[in-house]
Amino acid sequence: MRRCIATVSLSGMLREKLQAAAAARFDGVEIFENDLLQVPGTPREVRRIAEDLGLTIDLFQPFRDFDGVSPTQLLRNLERAERKFDVMQELGAPLILVCTNAQPSASGDIDLLAEQMHQLAERAALRGLRVGYEALAWAPKISRFGQAWQVVQKANHPHLGLVLDSFHTLALRDDPLPIADLPGEKIFFLQLADAPWIDTDVLSHSRHYRCFPGQGEFEMARFTAAVLDAGYTGPLSLEIFNDEFRAAPARPTAADAMRSLLWLEEQMRSVPSLKTGVPHGESRRVQLFDPPSPPQLQGWSFIEFAVDASHAERLSAFLRTIGFKHIGRHRSKAVDLYGQGEVRVVLNLEEDSFARAYFEAHGVSACATALATTDALAALGRAEALGCTRMAGRVGQNELNIPAVRAPDGSLLYFFDVHSGGEHGFEADFVLDEQPAADTAFGGQARIDHVVQVLPAGQVEPWTLFYRAVLGLQPTSSMVMNDPYGIIKSRVMESRDRAVRYALNVSERASTSTARTVSQFGGAGVQQIAVAVPDLVATARRLKALGASLLPVPGNYYDDLEAKYDIAPALLATLREFGIFYDRTADGELLQLYTTPFEDRFFFGLIERRGNYQDYGVANAPFHLAALAQFREHAQ
């Protein structure tokens, strides 16, 4: 299908917006009039710029409150429309979008509206233009597509049709399925926007919270499939207003926009047609994007840190105090491998490498993560199809070529194929000196449970879409955590079987743990590697014996635990002794222990999930964050 984007979805001046849309390979744009009014060029010049970029201008949206007005006002509005038709002809835009009137005084009389829209369509027809009528969710009279359709049907003019917008329908929780029964050729245009469910008025919801399909919580595929069922074959067009996008650079936003459409098309493939029962992917009426399936993920193969020699020494010492052992050296590169249980950490101090460049930009930080998967090439193919950039490093003779793509923050995401010797098969590239014994501090079965990433403001949506589209993860929960210096928002994304889980943390306040870490990294980064161990108390005991630096937890916390839960005195004493956080739900229990941070950048969490506890101990977050703040204060 043709793919379009409204210029209002992108930040900056019109030329930047058009360039960004073209770079992301959109076919065309909708122009919101303000974008045109604020540039010096004439409409004809704008058309030239778009043409030179290979973009059509599919739609123009020049005003509000046209319809349902008095006869005198109608004449003025028609006169105004004629001026806008002049502009459209110069722009080469064939379709004008007219939203239903949002004024309280507007009439809701279908006959009157039909008559007025007929007049407009008649004038448009004389110019060879078409009029699209869209129900605005907050219009007092005509707010649903069904009502707008009554007007269009009654007006019965070949140059008048409907414009549908997923936001306006879904935000009102209006049922989209009846769309399938509309005549497809009367749907002139389809606008798409997703959104989180927010308890606010629909106008604020629309103005501030719209996002690209896949970034929000609306049932986008179901809505869009209903439109396909009607026989619509026009463009899919993104119209998003959002405080973040208005402020983000246009090019990455446009790239994300394209990824969201591709993801949506793939989702629609499997939705069965309401009329034929055949999935839309199998019909031949429209072409839908068909990438390789999402990868089967089996956890992390390794996490790679960028270091220089002096940091390598310090980080190595830090890892050893928490039980990691040096288990190998890369055959051809200055890369060291550390491990314990099933966890592998790589320290890359190779000069003239991606890791070194990353180190120069971000300091000591995780520059790459490797996910174990059953088909690495398919995973790579999917990522590339969804607009990711493939990254290739130098590979020595007889060494593994592990495919990688660039993550949204510029770090690497490797796909390691488990057929190359299991999830640790990459160790073939290393000269191994010691196998990580089962008697390390974490224990033999220790494995990465989840990874906590800190993100700059505005980056949660792009990462959500990246993980959802590229890896097939699902957003499962959103939380707000109180740091002593401001709030932190967290969104959890999980693979279906929870083999891979990420928490995406963001804070707009400068002094929270999240924001300080973002500032240290100069961008996004891995703040916590949470390792699941079979027996956290035993692990804590061994860590203490090793002299590991564990984050202290105030005694008052345990006094409250005692008051809150019916907890065995011996267990309580142990939790208190080691500074272990505790949570309990109907499903089970969680024990959490944290190391102090390495140079105020990242730390390890050790967790033990008892029973079927699958959450993240958010009730303990304020105490963990306060303990981090307290530690930082004393470390200064």
Q: Which residues bind its own copies (CB under 8 A)?
A: 11-13, 33-34, 36-43, 62-63, 76, 79-80, 83-84, 87, 198-201, 204, 207, 243, 246-247, 457, 480, 482-487, 508-512, 552, 554-557, 559-560, 562-564, 566, 622-623, 626-627, 629-630, 633
- Three-state secondary structure call for residue 256: helix
CB of 585 to its own copies, least distance (A): 15
CB of 626 to its own copies, least distance (A): 3
CB of 217 to its own copies, least distance (A): 16
Residue 368 backbone phi and psi in degrees, to 5: -155, 145
CB of 556 to its own copies, least distance (A): 5
Q: Which is nearer to its own copies, 216 or 323 (CB)?
A: 216
Angle at which helices 536-546 and 569-578 cross, to 10°: 40
Tokens 């209002």 correspond to what residue?
A: 8
For residue 593, the cross-strand partners are 606
| Lookup: tokens for 484 | 């002593």
Maximum Cα interatomic distance, the chain, rounded to a whole number of Å: 89
Q: Which is nearer to its own copies, 38 or 397 (CB)?
A: 38
CB 55 within 8 A of CB 18: yes
- 580 burial (CB, 10 Å; 0-12 / 13-18 / 19+) is buried
CB of 618 to its own copies, least distance (A): 13
Tokens 């390794």 correspond to what residue?
A: 302
DSSP string covering 76-103, please?
A: HHHHHHHHHHHHHHHHT--EEEEEPP-S
Residue 523 to residues 147, 357, 358, 485, 558, Cα–Cα distance (Å): 48, 14, 11, 19, 36
CB of 610 to its own copies, least distance (A): 21
- Three-state secondary structure call for residue 15: helix
CB of 226 to its own copies, least distance (A): 30
Give 63's contacts (C-beta < 8 A, 6+ positions apart). Answer: 33, 77, 80, 81, 84
**Whole-angstrom distance, CA of residue 248 vs CA of residue 458:** 7
CB of 152 to its own copies, least distance (A): 25
Q: Is the dihedral of CA 106, 109, 113, 116 positive or negative?
A: negative
Q: Which is nearer to its own copies, 421 or 555 (CB)?
A: 555
Give 9's contacts (C-beta < 8 A, 6+ positions apart). Answer: 238, 239, 240, 241, 245, 253, 257
CB of 214 to its own copies, least distance (A): 23
CB 62 within 8 A of CB 87: yes
Q: Is the dihedral of CA 284, 286, 289, 295 positive or negative?
A: negative
Q: Which is nearer to its own copies, 34 or 156 (CB)?
A: 34
CB 30 within 8 A of CB 21: no
CB of 106 to its own copies, least distance (A): 18
